């Protein structure tokens, strides 16, 4: 595995070579990919190369492929970060051969697989690695789907896709009653099919143990192929879908149970327009056919129908979906912790999604504090898939640019403060900085982007060998301009030299 500084040198060397024809070969093997599969592919390419009309081009391509294949045969597996291979005749004299091979194990994992035969080597994936100095976590989400990604330089990697199982576009109420089931209004009874939104009907305040009036918020119909007719000991009965919720006594506690789970001798909460009653079920009959049933939604989350206390089905649906949503948020948070918690390069997290969803997730503190503190932006994004990640990064351009400036300002403020208050722990200009580097005393090497490239490369290489952090700062801030005016080279030290 080579350092970034060494990678830059390799890129500079490879950029200078140009083929006379499409005869320079580039092979990228992504991290974790089977090296033997690549070897087989290149063997097949050798056969294809026999069809090249030009004798010299055919010879150069075939020999370059053979050189790469021989090299791959000596490998047991793909290196940890993948492998980049470059081969071809680089002789500047036509008719002469100077066949060379470069194998590069990059400092960061290769994400792409490439086989290319061209007039020049493909170097963009390696150049991108030189641009990557920090990474950002990405999350786009809604209640049904979430995608977690990583922004490294300009590259977006999808790390995890998740789904919630929360139903969508489903009518909130599969729990229904017979259209002629009656409910009690203030001065009359009315069949549920005749109810209107806004009607006040009788319901039960379980906490206060008293009958109340509640407003009808919604009403709809559905069709079922099964229903149950439930009879209680005072002679009343009710027809409902199998999934409608009733209130059953269990000792001194009130339990919710679906009609399909009820059995004879169960005790239900009922009302006879005067008193709350606890009545035993004496019979349950199942009916099959095509049944039109009605359901309503109320403010109180329950109501009395035919004297039976039944659950507000929309609330039941809401509670189920809310439970699934919370579980989904917890799974997202767990995945983000697994992916990002130990990532020391992580500079921040961007979260995108519909306004309520992303805010619920962040504000209800599903993420651990360390990750919450890294959130640098919440943005309104429509997509929750890979395209959503791209939209998130595009919308966050100003935020990311601002983060760079903030980071540079804080770094240089720290440097100037150290220079003023603890001069022995700061180095300024090339001579002092070089001396500190040679002693291994540099904690952070700071270089202006306007410093000569050759000098930057030289000092960076020394810093890499001594484990120093390297920071390249712009002149976009007043601090950056001031630093350049002082020579553009400095360091914060681990110890005094």
What confidence tens digit (pLDDT) does each residue in 288-306 have? Answer: 998 899 988 888 889 999 9
pLDDT at 354 over 80: yes
Mean pLDDT, residues 135-163: 91
Q: What are the chain's domains?
A: 4-131 (3.30.960.10), 135-166+320-400 (3.30.420.60), 182-313 (2.170.16.10), 402-493 (3.30.1330.30)
The share of the chain scoring above pLDDT 70, in percent, equals 95
Indicate the pLDDT class of residue 171, thresholds 50, 70 and 90. very low
Q: What are phi and psi of 444, to 5 degrees?
A: -130, 120
Of 270, 263, 266, the closest CA to residue 308 belongs to: 270
pLDDT at 167 (0 to 100): 55
Following DSSP, what letter does each residue of 174-217 receive, concatenated? ---B-TT-EEE-SS-EEEGGG--TT-EEEEEETTTTEEEEEEEE
φ/ψ region of 28 (left if φ > 0, alpha if ψ in -120 to 50, else beta) reads beta
Of 149, 54, 108, 490, the closest CA to residue 351 belongs to: 149
Token pair recorded at residue 488? 């553009």
Indicate the pLDDT class of residue 319, thresholds 50, 70 and 90. low
pLDDT at 173 (0 to 100): 44
Looking at every residue in the chain, the average pLDDT score rounds to: 89
**Which stretch of 180-184, 253-257, 268-272 has the lowest confidence by average pLDDT?**
253-257
Most confident of 94-108, 403-417, 418-432: 418-432
Which residues touch 376 (CB under 8 Å, ≥6 apart)? 136, 348, 349, 350, 399, 403
- Cα 379 from Cα 198, distance rounded (Å): 38
Indicate the pLDDT class of residue 76, thresholds 50, 70 and 90. confident
pLDDT at 99 over 70: yes
pLDDT at 299 (0 to 100): 87
- Cα 281 from Cα 408, distance rounded (Å): 75
Rg of the chain (C-alpha set): 36
Token pair recorded at residue 386? 């890979």
Indicate the pLDDT class of residue 170, thresholds 50, 70 and 90. very low
Q: Is residue 244 within 8 Å of residue 315, measured between CB atoms?
A: no
Indicate the pLDDT class of residue 186, thresholds 50, 70 and 90. confident
Strand arrangement, sheet containing 469-473: 426-428, 489-493, 442-448, 469-473
Mean pLDDT, residues 346-356: 90
pLDDT at 95 (0 to 100): 78
pLDDT at 132 over 70: no
Q: How far is CA 126 from CA 101, 114, 129, 456, 462, in A?
A: 17, 12, 5, 19, 21
For tokens 């009343």, what's the residue?
236
**Which stretch of 80-94, 156-170, 332-346 has the lowest confidence by average pLDDT?**
156-170
pLDDT at 320 (0 to 100): 61
Most confident of 61-65, 293-297, 399-403: 61-65
pLDDT, greater one: 492 or 323: 492
The share of the chain scoring above pLDDT 90, in percent, equals 60
Give 473's strand partners. Answer: 448
- Cα 105 from Cα 6, distance rounded (Å): 11
Angle at 466 between CA 460 and CA 470, to 5 degrees: 40
Give 226's strand partners. Answer: 288
Give 148's strand partners. Answer: 139, 160
- pTM check: above 0.85: no
pLDDT at 111 (0 to 100): 85
Q: How far is CA 473 from CA 341, 448, 484, in A?
A: 27, 5, 9
């Amino acid at each position: 595995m080579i350092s970034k500084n060494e990678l830059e040198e390799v890129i500079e060397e490879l950029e200078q070579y140009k083929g006379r024809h499409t005869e320079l070969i580039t092979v990228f093997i992504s991290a974790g990919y089977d090296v033997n599969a690549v070897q087989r592919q290149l063997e097949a390419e050798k056969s294809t190369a026999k069809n090249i009309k030009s004798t010299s081009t055919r010879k150069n391509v075939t020999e370059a492929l053979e050189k790469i294949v021989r090299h791959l045969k000596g490998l047991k597996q793909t290196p940890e970060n993948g492998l980049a291979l470059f081969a071809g005749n680089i002789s500047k004299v036509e008719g002469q051969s100077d066949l060379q091979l470069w194998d590069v194990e990059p400092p960061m994992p290769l994400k792409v697989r490439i086989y290319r035969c061209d007039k020049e080597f493909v170097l963009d994936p390696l150049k991108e690695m030189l641009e990557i100095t920090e990474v950002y976590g990405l999350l786009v989400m809604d209640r049904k789907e979430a995608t977690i990604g990583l922004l490294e330089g300009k590259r977006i990697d999808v790390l995890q896709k998740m789904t919630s199982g929360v139903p969508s576009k489903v009518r909130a109420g599969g729990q229904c009653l017979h259209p002629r089931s009656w409910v009690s209004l203030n001065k009359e009874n009315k069949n549920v099919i005749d109810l209107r939104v806004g009607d006040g009907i009788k319901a039960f305040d379980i906490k206060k143990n008293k009958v109340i009036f509640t407003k009808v918020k919604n009403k709809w119909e559905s069709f079922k192929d099964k229903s149950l007719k439930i009879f209680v000991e005072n002679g009343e009965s009710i027809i409902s879908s199998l999934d409608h919720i009733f209130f059953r006594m269990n000792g001194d506690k009130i339990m919710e149970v679906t009609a399909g789970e009820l059995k004879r001798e169960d005790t239900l909460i009922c009302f006879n327009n005067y008193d709350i009653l606890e009545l035993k079920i004496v019979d349950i009959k199942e009916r099959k056919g095509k049944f039109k049933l009605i359901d309503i939604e109320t403010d109180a989350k329950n109501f009395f129908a035919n004297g039976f206390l039944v659950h507000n089905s929309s609330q039941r649906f809401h509670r189920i979906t809310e439970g699934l949503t919370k579980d989904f948020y917890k799974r997202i948070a767990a995945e983000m912790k697994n992916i990002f918690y130990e990532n020391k390069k992580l500079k921040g997290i961007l979260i995108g999604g519909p306004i309520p969803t992303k805010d619920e997730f962040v504000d209800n503190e599903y993420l651990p504090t360390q990750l919450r503190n890294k959130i640098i932006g919440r943005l309104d994004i429509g997509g929750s898939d890979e395209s959503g990640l791209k939209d998130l990064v595009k919308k966050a351009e100003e935020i990311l640019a601002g983060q760079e400036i903030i980071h540079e300002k804080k770094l240089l403020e720290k440097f100037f403060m150290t220079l003023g208050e603890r001069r022995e722990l700061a180095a300024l200009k090339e001579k002092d900085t070089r001396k500190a580097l040679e002693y291994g005393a540099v904690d952070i090497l700071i270089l202006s982007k306007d410093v000569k490239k050759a000098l930057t490369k030289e000092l960076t290489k020394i810093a890499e060998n001594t484990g120093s952090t390297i920071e390249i700062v712009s002149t976009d801030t007043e601090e950056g301009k001031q630093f350049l005016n002082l020579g553009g080279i400095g360091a914060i030290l681990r110890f005094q030299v």
